[in-house]
Amino acid sequence: MGARASVILTQDGKESPCLCLHWGSNAYHEEVREFVTKLYEVLKDPTKFSVWEGKKTVHAPEDRLEPSRVFVKLVQKFGEGGYVAKDRNEVDDSDYGCLYVELGDKKPTFSQ
């Protein structure tokens, strides 16, 4: 029993590990959508502040929006009560499935 849900970040054929929360539910997927959307707003607008450090960033590794780098931030934000797996085959997200986040050049796209 639980409200299992997972997230995988993708970009140009690269894929992050899978972050699964046992008690995640659709609320987890919605929080990830909001976090990634805000991330894009901040990194694509140089007048806004960084979601990473509360200040403007200049060429921080996260600015490249690569799956592995953004994944680390997701683990920091959502990792409590969850676990990381190599891929979706190693998780049980049978309640709410997996949210795939494609990290595009201009904006993210989300699919389940």
Torsion from C-alpha of 18, 104, 60, 49, nearest 10 degrees = -100
Q: What is the token pair recorded at 40? A: 């894009």
**Please, is 80 exposed, middle or buried when counting C-beta atoms within 10 Å of its C-beta (0-12, 13-18, 19+)?**
exposed
Q: Is the pLDDT of residue 104 over 60?
A: yes
Please tell me the predicted confidence (pLDDT) of residue 51: 55
pLDDT tens string 51-85: 555 555 555 666 678 899 889 888 988 878 889 99
Residue 32 has pLDDT above 90, yes or no: yes
- For 87, phi then psi, to 5°, come to -155, -175
Give the Cα separation of 16 and 7 in Å (integer).
Answer: 9
Q: Between these two residues, 49 and 11, which has the higher pLDDT value?
A: 11
Confidence (pTM): 0.84
Mean pLDDT of 8-31: 91
Number of neighbours of residue 28 by Cβ within 10 angstroms: 23
Q: In the chain, pLDDT over 90 holds for what percent of residues?
A: 45
